[in-house]
Structure 1
Amino acid sequence: MILTQCAVCATDLGLSLGKKCGRCSTRYCGAACQKQHWEEGGHDKLCKAIKKAGGAEQYNANQKYTAAVAVAAEACAEDTKGQTCYICTQALHRHTKEGLVRMCACRGTAGFAHVSCLAEEAKILVAEAWENNLDSKAFDKRWRRWDTCSLCEQRYHGVVACALGWACWKTYVGRLETDEAKGLAMTQLGNGLSAVGNWADALSVREAELSTLRRIGAPLSAILAAQGNLANTYQYLGRLDEALPLRQDVYSGRVRLSGEEHELTLVAANNYASSLVDLQRFEEAKALLRKTNPVARRVIGASHELTLRMGWTYALALYKDDGATLADLREAVTTLVETTQTARRVLGGAHPLLAPIEISLRNAGAALSGALAARDPPPRGA
């Protein structure tokens, strides 16, 4: 997480409260904790090293990045055995000695790389975009290299996404808070923490991100994105009543700002529908998705990950409803069979989306079987 707490007592300081070490900018709630950290917490030995690294926030990012890369390489070790990086062509990175990772939709011998190589490539491409004053569409495509494989064009997931999130934050953390790159990097870090289910730390990042954007007067599109990310984190933390109004506001805001066919509007629609399902407001969720799912299939394609997610959410709204008819249950099963097959073909069997969809398919199938048995019970003695 980013540093929003006292280094000694963990008191929440937000982005501006408390005091900092005059040399390295380590944050404290007050003089007492700062004195304790120096005398008993080992800060007297670390202070110079932290300053040399660029300050407390940069030092923290560097440490977290190194740890995240090690975790990612270990998790991918079996998959990457005997392979080489498609960027530097080496098995072990020549400087960091880190192992290879993958965790995208690449198969066979494709897609193996070092996190360091992926990060360096993204950093260079983004720098070139700024230097050449490329338009927003070209810039966005290059920025996506921080989280998307250039070969299969699918986003990294799990511990690799987390490592790249820390890589991105490490790269841009030293910039001014008004710098676009720092804000985008904070988003990437939140996404990476979310990818490994570290929702508590992700929440800290999301709250800091939204607070910063509001303070600097960021554009509405950026505010909506941050609100959506915060709502997603609330959802996963079980704070459903806090997530729903945020998601509703984001969806209506996206419709006004970008129109009903924009991909970000479709993302917001699916998130809003997901909240409605979790709160058992099934009719509202079904009505929304019956309107937006055909748009997604037409605009971004039936095999796009977002379209698959929207189909999954629609199926959940169908079969989880206590008032579901046989037609609803059959539609849910049909939708989930199609979604499962497409996800396996496009995203690969290791993608984290596949397992929960398959679980939903089993549950929907069981619900349909139960409904059919209740309608046509076997004769006595059978």
Structure 2
Amino acid sequence: MILTTCAACAAPLAHDAPRCVRCKVRYCDSTCQHDHWRRGHKQMCKKIHRGGNAEQYNADKKYKEAVAVAVEACAEDTKGQTCYICTQALHWKTKEGLVRMCACRGTAGFAHVSCLAEQAKILFAEAEENNLGVKVLNERWRRWFTCSLCEQHYHGVVRCALGWACWKTYVGRPEADEARRMAMGVLANGLSSACHHEESLSVREAEFSMKRRNGTSEHNLLAVQSNLARTHAQLGRLEEALSMERDVYSGRLKLHGKDHPQTLIAATNYAASLQALERFEETKSLLRKTMPVSRRVLGDSNEFPLRMQLCYAVALYKDPAATLDDVREAVTTLEDANRIARRVMGGAHPLTTGVDAGLRTARAALRAREAGQSVVFT
């Protein structure tokens, strides 16, 4: 994670906590700093300073570790392939192997994390230097987490490695710099995608604190709150997540109206929190209102209408009061979502695997109900 805890005792730190004068490692107070110096920091201080000081040194180290994990995870899938950017199997400088975690088919989409990161860095720098405008900046920023070929978000350990690549690229900028702020979000999302939820929560909390401190917009604060809520849910803190998602959905409605994409995304997340707490009637009521709007505004092939379908179907077949027709509707809904998800995102995408699992459970529930048997969900 980024350096949000004391190097000596691991206690949470304020953003202005005292630092080592040379390498900028942070501490609770002088007592912790002196203790850490005696326990070995004396030997590491110069090395960390030469590596760009504490945050940069930590980011570089974490990046190399994340790349190694991503390459190993993709090794079977990338055998005999070459990078579509540099055309080599091994990276000329780092000697790293290839990765692929998107919807590209056949021989497309194989790349080195270093090549993907360099491509994103160059494209964004060009947009900044030439003042190409917010739209172009945002489009190019997406290269940090989106495949340039299939336009699908990377996922899993590849997204985590790119998150660290993004953070190490911009960590040296001033705190108020927009790219540095966005890089924190990219890192947090990457950590979450690789199931490093505690680390992701730490980054998100630091991001939220930083944005409040620097007076960011209500739109941006709601986005960070939503990400915080999702991370709490991933850690099993469901009531806390639901409260935050409700506030975000209410805030989006007031700020944007019911037809705005951000409002529909907030509705998806709110419904997922309701469903996780088995508040099925509330889940179904919300989704019956928002699913038609979501398909109209975002399109049937978009990720969030598909997430809504999955959430709605699960609420249908898991509800203890579900009728046979409800379970049949759940199966039909998931069959439709499964067909679209496989076509658009590929079989390895987490949403596709989630729909697959939901469909298997729904079909089993339907068979049991048609045979007059009771159904118990674990």
Class of the TM-score when normalised by the shorter of the 2 chains? over 0.9
Conserved? CA contact 1:301–1:307, under 8 Å? yes
Moved more, 26-35 or 240-249: 26-35
Q: What is the number of equivalent residue pairs in this alignment? A: 374
**Counterpart among 129, 142, 145 of residue 144 in structure 1:** 142
| Equivalent AA in structure 1 for residue 10 of structure 2 | A
Residue 350 of structure 2: SS of its match in structure 1? coil
Return the alpha-carbon distance in structure 2 between the equivalents of residues 255 and 45 of structure 1.
Answer: 54
CA-to-partner distance for each residue in 1:74-99, whole Å, 9 max, x for gaps?
A: 11111111111111111111111111
Residue of structure 1 in register with 2:7 after alignment: 7
Residue of structure 2 in register with 1:231 after alignment: 229
RMSD: 1.5
Please state how far the C-alpha of 1:179 moved relative to its aligned partner.
1.0
Return the alpha-carbon distance in structure 2 between the equivalents of residues 131 and 265 of structure 1.
Answer: 33
Q: Which sections of structure 2, spanning at least 5 residues, go unmatched? A: none
Moved more, 155-164 or 241-250: 241-250
1:116 aligns with 2:121: no
**Counterpart among 279, 285, 288 of residue 286 in structure 2:** 288
Return the alpha-carbon distance in structure 2 between the equivalents of residues 210 and 356 of structure 1.
Answer: 29
Residue of structure 2 in register with 1:379 after alignment: none
Residue of structure 1 in register with 2:36 after alignment: 37
Question: Identity of aligned pairs, percent?
Answer: 63
Please state how far the C-alpha of 1:128 moved relative to its aligned partner.
1.7
CA-to-partner distance for each residue in 1:162-208, whole Å, 9 max, x for gaps?
A: 00000011111111121111111000010000011111111101111
| Equivalent AA in structure 1 for residue 4 of structure 2 | T
Residue of structure 2 in register with 1:207 after alignment: 205
Conserved? CA contact 1:102–1:111, under 8 Å? yes
Call closer, same or farther: CA 1:275–1:222 in 2, change over 3 Å: same
| Equivalent AA in structure 2 for residue 13 of structure 1 | L
Residue of structure 2 in register with 1:25 after alignment: 24
Moved more, 297-306 or 211-220: 297-306
Conserved? CA contact 1:243–1:275, under 8 Å? yes
Please state how far the C-alpha of 1:258 moved relative to its aligned partner.
2.4
Please state how far the C-alpha of 1:35 moved relative to its aligned partner.
2.3
Report 1:309-324 matches (<5 A).
309-324=307-322
Return the alpha-carbon distance in structure 1 between the equivalents of residues 21 and 243 of structure 2.
Answer: 42
Residue 77 of structure 2: SS of its match in structure 1? helix
Residue 27 of structure 1: SS of its match in structure 2? coil
Return the alpha-carbon distance in structure 2 between the equivalents of residues 309 and 289 of structure 1.
Answer: 11
Please state how far the C-alpha of 1:375 moved relative to its aligned partner.
8.4
Q: TM-score, normalization: structure 1?
A: 0.95
Please state how far the C-alpha of 1:349 moved relative to its aligned partner.
1.3
Return the alpha-carbon distance in structure 2 between the equivalents of residues 287 and 82 of structure 1.
Answer: 50
Residue of structure 1 in register with 2:358 after alignment: 360
Q: Which sections of structure 1, spanning at least 5 residues, go unmatched? A: 377-382
Residue of structure 2 in register with 1:197 after alignment: 195
CA-to-partner distance for each residue in 1:76-128, whole Å, 9 max, x for gaps?
A: 11111111111111111111111111110011100011111111111111112
Residue of structure 2 in register with 1:94 after alignment: 92
| Equivalent AA in structure 2 for residue 248 of structure 1 | R
Conserved? CA contact 1:87–1:117, under 8 Å? yes
Conserved? CA contact 1:14–1:208, under 8 Å? no
Moved more, 166-175 or 48-57: 48-57
Residue 349 of structure 2: SS of its match in structure 1? coil
**Counterpart among 260, 267, 272 of residue 262 in structure 1:** 260
CA-to-partner distance for each residue in 1:32-72, whole Å, 9 max, x for gaps?
A: 3322322222x222211211222101110000001101111
**Counterpart among 62, 82, 85 of residue 84 in structure 1:** 82
Return the alpha-carbon distance in structure 2 between the equivalents of residues 312 and 306 of structure 1.
Answer: 10
Conserved? CA contact 1:105–1:348, under 8 Å? yes
| Equivalent AA in structure 1 for residue 35 of structure 2 | Q
